[in-house]
Structure formats: structure tokens, C-alpha cells
Amino acid sequence: GAGVSQSPRYKVTKRGQDVALRCDPISGHVSLYWYRQALGQGPEFLTYFNYEAQQDKSGLPNDRFSAERPEGSISTLTIQRTEQRDSAMYRCASAPPAYGYTFGSGTRLTVV
């Protein structure tokens, strides 16, 4: 596609439920990144992939968070047993080799 597409744009979920956030990167982009952004703060790194391989997951806060990119294209960030502190804007970015990121519009997650 023309840009990085994320869905849903908004997600409200009850505490304890699982959520899956989807990212569809720009076609052909090798690298895909997940970030989380709290209001008034810069994006915080979560994890990234080159093709289907998860290269770095050091930013995932705990084992309730996981991500996959099974075919090297679309990626899913899953949060299990959501908590209120998980509420944030979740942003996905993709990049070709040796270039800057293009970010998607994000998914605003609210845990109530």
C-alpha cells in the first residue's frame, strides 16, 4: 500500500481481555517496528522485525506482550490480560534497508 496501515484505529477493551493490533507495512519494506507512545512523550521502542525474524524484543514490557510477523509482511502485536497501564497509542513503522522509518497512524488502546 501507499503507507503503513494500522487497525483498528481505536480499541476500547475491558481489563483482563486480550487484544491484537495489526500493522500492514509498506510493500517491500524489510524492517517493521512497534512503538508505544504515552500522551506528551516520545515513542518508546517495543520490538522490531527484519522480514519474519524478530530481531529485538527488549522493549516489550513483560511477557503479556508478544508480536509476530509470520510471512514477513503483516505484523500483529498481542497484549494478553490487558491492564489499565497498557492504555496508550501503539505505533507501527516500516523501513526499507538503510533508510528512515515511515510511521502509521497508530492504534489508540484504552483499557477500562
Partner 1 sequence: DAKTTQPPSMDCAEGRAANLPCNHSTISGNEYVYWYRQIHSQGPQYIIHGLKNNETNEMASLIITEDRKSSTLILPHATLRDTAVYYCIVNNYGQNFVFGPGTRLSVLP
Q: Give φ, ψ of 96 to 5 degrees.
A: -75, 170
Say how many residues touch partner 1, by CB under 8 A. 26
Side chain identity at residue 12, one-letter code: V
**Minimum CB separation from partner 1 for residue 100, in Å?**
4
Length of the chain: 112
For CA atoms 86, 8, 45, 59, give the dihedral sign. positive
Binding segment for partner 1 among 15-23, 48-56, 66-74, 77-85 (CB under 8 A)? 48-56
Binding mask 5-44 for partner 1 (x = CB under 8 A): --------------------------x-x-x-----xxxx
Residue with cell 480499541: 11
Binding segment for partner 1 among 14-22, 66-74, 75-83, 92-100 (CB under 8 A)? 92-100
CA distance 75 to 29: 12
49 touching partner 1, by CB under 8 A: no
User: Distance of CA 109 to CAs 10, 39, 78, 90, Å?
Assistant: 6, 12, 12, 7
Which residues would be at the binding site for partner 1 (CB under 8 A)? 4, 31, 33, 35, 41-45, 48, 50, 55-56, 59, 89, 91, 93, 97-98, 100-106
